[in-house]
Chains A and B, each alone.
Chain A
Amino acid sequence: MNKLLPLLIGAIGVLLLATLMLVILPAWQMRTAEPPQRLQPYTEQQLLGRQQYVANGCIYCHSQQPRSTGQTLFDGAQGWGRASTPGDYFYDAPHLLGTMRTGPDLLNIGARMKSRDWHLTHLYQPRAIFDWSLMPSYPYMFEVKDEAAPDDVVVRLPAQFQPSGGRVVVAREEALDLVDYLLSLDRTYPASEGELQKRDRGYDHRPETTETPSNAG
């Protein structure tokens, strides 16, 4: 190795090969995906909520990619939904697939937990619902007031988590947006066979079911 130029050209050449294999070819195959018929684009408020999800780093504890039944029955048993396909993420930018499950998968949280009140209480103080939860509380998305204004959304809390002196906790815009986004997360519609072909089936010894497991939602 005595020449500089061949070294640098060789190095870039190898990386170009990797880019072809890992970026360009998958993109060529996956970008042809049509959005599934029953998948709605995000509304403006849901997109604002999605920004809150990004800004507060929800992704570092919550994945959004249920596994196939061929790999594990756990995800289905938890009601996390069927294995996801590229089309399920058609409107997602940035993608929020995630790599950790310190908390549960959230791709179908909107189908599983439909109550806005539940989500607001849980964001304000997760331990008001699950005493074992390790999720951070997000007091800065809420406001403690002496009295709620007519259009305020008051957070429902058990007595020991209520602020003192009869004051009330109301949700700020951030919390309402975030909950609106979470409620929109619902990919429980069936996936087409063509879509299922585009996901990792390396674990599946039998044909993947196209139906949502009955206990989802």
Chain B
Amino acid sequence: MTPILGILLATSFVASLVALGILIWAVANNLIFAGKAEASTIFMEGEIGHPDDSASFGGENEAQSHRFDVLRAGIDRAGKGPVMVLVTAGILWLLIGSVFGVIASLKLHWPDWLADIAPITFGRARTLHLNIVAYGWLSVTGIGVALWVLPRIFHTPLRRPNMAYLGAFLWTLGVLGGTLAIASGWSDGIEWLEFPWQIDILLAAGGFFLAWPAIETAARRKSRHIYVSGWYFLAGMVWFPFLFLVANIPGLHMGAQQATVNWWFAHNVLGLWLTPIGVGAAYYVIPKIIGKPVFSYSVSLLGFWGLALFYSQVGIHHLMGGPIPTWAVTLSVVHSIMMFVPVIAVAINQHVTVANNMWAFKQSMALRFVWIGALMYTLSSFQGSLEALRSMNSITHFTHYTVGHAHLGAYAFVSLVLFGTVYYMMPHILGRRWPYPKLIQTHFWLVVVGFAIYFVSLTTAGILQGTALMDPGSSFAEITKTMVPYLEGRSIGGTLMTLGHFVFAAHFALLLLQKEGRSKAVDTFAPAEAS
């Protein structure tokens, strides 16, 4: 048995390396075209060299983009409805999810606070927070962004917008149903899969009706090349349904074996769903704002297929030292370390592009959110790879350190990228400016400072907790008492982040409520409205 498994283990690793080797060889020999021309498909003729950020720039830059947006506004128009519905729903879920997060955080150091209200006991509030931000805020807003970016990179309007409306409705209903279920104590009990499977059917149907328009739009694209954001979004839209269906089949998995399914699913939700959303959005927004194609486009192929090959097999590192066969754990450790490859590939593309154009970073609030988010992707991935080393994992496993790491990925990376993307796309969709640019800065500083406090608190707490949990001489009472100030710090950071979200949501509401006539329409859209 052991040799067979050893051979399989080696096969998986060698197969991944060979696949990547073939890819590099193909790119090097021009069998796959991924050069400047392909990287420039996001631009229309004459657009390169002209920065574009209606959320921040004014003056001459505005005049520059004046000529080009007629066509693109036409492309945006078909999908405008579903995209606006998805983004609005996503922001509402962000507010609800954040409030549950703060409640759960406070309850960790005020254990008797509101203890008689069962729906918000710590175990439920924490679970509501996770599911609402993952399947409400991140997924719903992410799909909205994808349905806006895909038609643009394919140079053709979104197909079947009515189907997308139906999908958005079913998905939102599913998240609402799951929320009520968890609050009332009806849960499947598996981390990241707490929504009862009966309610998950709504999410599955919703996801189907949201993915169909995206894939049909891709099939009827007017551009020959599929831009890198498209790979991530489209792959995510087939990965997530596959993961979600297999993990939710009732009665199929049980016992310790179910734990492997659990973490295969849960880590892939991050790696093959939320990460593609964040990386895909950043790959579109960064070069668009700067007005130049990404730095080294062919490397992005390596980033994408490396992510697919390695990220998909890292999940079992969550079960290190547990009742799971050694080889499965080792396999995930090896692939976790290999994640350095795709992460560095993405970093080369995105960070060098921005670093060469720091003027844009200073001027554009949208780019500031997106690039800091992209930097946090690099950091959280490096941290994740190191955390998967056995020596490191022995300390960080079972501690608040992991929670800090999860928020570095899901929040500092994906959420920040989504904030910036929403700031960038709304003026393009609505044809009017954000009414109070100062509020964007307020939002930025609240979430950045809040997150810094949050992350430092939990990381320090986790290291102290983890070292003590390895020391047979320490007592549980002492460990618990040591945690309190750091848990309080986390509540302060989380509250600041939540305040930032309310500023963001209020600004978004003001933007929606503005009457077309009274607001100063973005000049770039004048010709589009006239046509």
| Chain A interface residues toward B at CB < 8 A | 1-4, 7-8, 10-12, 14-15, 17-19, 21-23, 25-27, 29-31, 33, 54-61, 63, 65, 67-68, 71-74, 76-78, 83-86, 88-97, 99-102, 104, 126-127, 130, 132-140, 198-203
Known: A76-B472, A200-B322. 18 other contacts (CB 8 A): A2-B33, A8-B215, A8-B235, A11-B239, A14-B309, A23-B264, A30-B260, A55-B185, A65-B322, A85-B323, A86-B255, A86-B257, A95-B258, A101-B469, A136-B123, A140-B116, A200-B326, A203-B394
Residues in B with CB closer than 8 Å to A89 are 255-256, 323
The stretch that binds A, out of B186-194, B198-206, B349-357, is B186-194
Could you jot down 26 A-B contacts, CB within 8 Å?
A: A1-B225, A14-B312, A21-B328, A22-B313, A23-B264, A26-B325, A27-B261, A29-B5, A31-B257, A60-B126, A73-B472, A84-B322, A89-B255, A90-B255, A97-B319, A100-B402, A133-B480, A136-B107, A136-B111, A136-B115, A137-B111, A140-B118, A198-B325, A199-B322, A200-B320, A203-B394
> A interface, by DSSP: helix, strand, loop or mixed?
loop
The stretch that binds A, out of B87-95, B172-180, B329-337, B514-522, is B329-337
CB contact between B32 and one of A1, A18, A59 (< 8 Å): that residue: A1
Is A202 a contact of B225 with CB atoms below 8 Å? no
Scan residues 91-135 of chain B and give those whose CB is less than 8 A from a CB of chain A. 107-109, 111-112, 115-118, 121-124, 126-127
Is A30 a contact of B115 with CB atoms below 8 Å? no
Distance in angstroms from B214 CB to nearest chain A CB is 11
Is B122 a contact of A57 with CB atoms below 8 Å? yes
Query: Is B12 on the interface with A (CB-CB < 8 A)?
Result: yes
Known: A55-B187, A200-B323. A99 touches B308 (CB 8 A): no
- State A14–B305 Cα separation when bound (angstroms): 9
Is A72 a contact of B324 with CB atoms below 8 Å? no
Query: Is B268 on the interface with A (CB-CB < 8 A)?
Result: yes
Is B326 a contact of A202 with CB atoms below 8 Å? yes
Is B238 a contact of A56 with CB atoms below 8 Å? no
Is B326 a contact of A201 with CB atoms below 8 Å? yes
Residues in A with CB closer than 8 Å to B513 are none
Q: 5 smallest A-B Cβ distances: which pairs?
A: A57-B123, A55-B185, A18-B312, A54-B189, A77-B472
Query: Is B528 on the interface with A (CB-CB < 8 A)?
Result: no
Is B8 a contact of A25 with CB atoms below 8 Å? yes
B: number of interface residues (CB 8 Å): 103
> B interface, by DSSP: helix, strand, loop or mixed?
helix
Is A56 a contact of B124 with CB atoms below 8 Å? yes
Known: A96-B189, A202-B390. A134 touches B315 (CB 8 A): no
Is A15 a contact of B239 with CB atoms below 8 Å? yes
Residues in B with CB closer than 8 Å to A91 are 255
Is A23 a contact of B124 with CB atoms below 8 Å? no
- State A132–B477 Cα separation when bound (angstroms): 7
Determine the residue in chain A with the shortest Cβ distance to B471.
A74
Is A2 a contact of B191 with CB atoms below 8 Å? no
Is B219 a contact of A17 with CB atoms below 8 Å? no
Query: Is B474 on the interface with A (CB-CB < 8 A)?
Result: yes
